[in-house]
Amino acid sequence: MRKKVIAGNWKMNMLPNETIEYIEKLSKLVKDTKNEVILCVPYTDLFYALLTAQNTNIKIGAQNMHFEEKGAYTGEISPQMLKSINVEYVIIGHSERRQYYNETDETVNKKLKSAHKVGLKPIVCVGETLEQREEGKTSDVITKQTALALEGLNEKEVEETIIAYEPIWAIGTGKTATSEDANESIKEIRKEIARKYGQQTAERVIIQYGGSVKSKNAKELFSMSDIDGGLVGGASLDAEEFSKIVNFDK
């Protein structure tokens, strides 16, 4: 049985004092859940988040990283730097980074490899645009993105990679994919993984849905056969709302 994994993606929001307050509140609200709870916070909040989340069931992640270990890359953060302060997760290839910061399937793949090298668990995002969906290319786009992201990883690394299926048209728009559509897309991704890495690996990989997940729709989405939780943007900024998403099965 796969676990449900609910990750918040704060994007460029929240200051350290807000981070501390939020995690103190959230930790009380989610302490009894069996679901995995992750918060992916801005770099400047990481240290505060890690300290506040100590002795709770909340795990902390970053939202991006460079693929190199070190070097002349002004303004960048390496996987080793994240690992050194005990960050456990890192989002890779979010559509906002693909769209605004030239993230490509190639850099996503490099980042996945270097995350695994230091033992960071990547949450890699894939998803189609509205245009691609309307042209009937969803399945092609997401299976190709998945294959390129995972290229060269071994089975164990694939199993330890979380995939977030995030249709781009559903991010921050209030529009969600129907639970059936999201489930179908996720099944396609799982099939692609099975084709390359075998059925057992495919059955073990956590594949989340992301795009306008709220407490109102979480239960319906996360109860589908292949949807193993969610990557939550806007609705993760409020501790109470996010706790309801985490506790969707209560």
Q: Does 127 bind ligand PGA (CB under 6 A)?
A: no
Site pattern 143..182 for ligand PGA (x: CB under 6 A) = -----------------------x----xx----------
- Which residue is listed with tokens 């495919």? 202
Residues 210-249 that bind ligand PGA (CB under 6 A): 210-213, 231-235
Residue among 36, 94, 96, 116 flagged as catalytic = 94
Task: In angstroms, give the least distance from the CB of 199 to ligand PGA.
Answer: 28
Residues 9-38 that bind ligand PGA (CB under 6 A): 9
Q: Does 93 bind ligand PGA (CB under 6 A)?
A: no
DSSP 143-188: HHHHHHHHTT--HHHHHT-EEEE--GGGTTSS----HHHHHHHHHH
103 is catalytic: no
Coil, helix or strand for 9? strand
Which is nearest to 189 in space by CA: 168, 206, 176, 175? 206
Contact at 8 Å (CB) between 151 and 110? Answer: no
Torsion angle of C-alpha atoms 221, 227, 230, 231, degrees rounded to 10: -120
Task: In angstroms, give the least distance from the CB of 174 to ligand PGA.
Answer: 8
Residues with active-site annotation:
94, 166
Q: Which residues would be at the binding site for ligand PGA (CB under 6 A)?
A: 9, 166, 171-172, 210-213, 231-235
